[in-house]
Amino acid sequence: MPSPVPTADLESDPRTPTLASINTAAAFDWHHRVNKAEQELSFEREKLKRTHRKAERLRHQVEEATQALERQARDYARVVNQCQYLSNTNLTLSQQAQKSRLMVETLEAVIMMLYTHPLKGIVEAYRLVEKGSSEGGDPSTT
């Protein structure tokens, strides 16, 4: 006779030893805890993604602001150079105007002398012209 094949009763004889010690209430509790932990993890991941996007946006804004400041610094330096150039030009023009004013005054005095005292005026005119040329003006160049 063939030997009888042992049969296992699945309801009374679990497959693994751990299944015998698991309580369904505890399993439900663990399942609930796992779901809750996964939800919290998902929430924290989304929060981290938002924080990362915000940090990237802020970094980009800082880069743009830095570039704008660099452009403004270059523009400021250019404006300062232009103002210095204009100031120097203004000084030069002022000096030339002063020389021209002195020249005109000298020539007016010479003309008045020549009209009022023709003989004496020539000598005085010569002195005025010499005086004007020694102060930086040259009446013969106009």
Over residues 98-117, the mean pLDDT reads 87
Over 80: is that where the pLDDT of 134 sits? Answer: no
SS3 11: coil
- What is the model's pTM? 0.45
Cα–Cα distance list, 87 to 22, 77, 96 (Å) = 94, 15, 14
With contact defined as beta carbons under 8 Å apart, do 139 and 133 qualify?
yes
Residue 96 banded pLDDT, cuts 50, 70, 90: very high
d(CA 55, CA 60) in angstroms, rounded, equals 9
Decide which of 97 and 29 is more confident: 97
pLDDT digits (tens, 9 = 90+) for 9-66: 555 555 555 555 668 888 888 999 999 999 999 999 999 999 999 999 999 999 999 9
Query: What is the pLDDT, as a whole number, of residue 46?
Result: 97
137: number of Cβ within 10 Å: 21
Would you kindly state where each structural domain of the chain is located, as residue ranges? 27-137
Residue 141 banded pLDDT, cuts 50, 70, 90: very low
In this structure, what DSSP letter does residue 10 have?
T
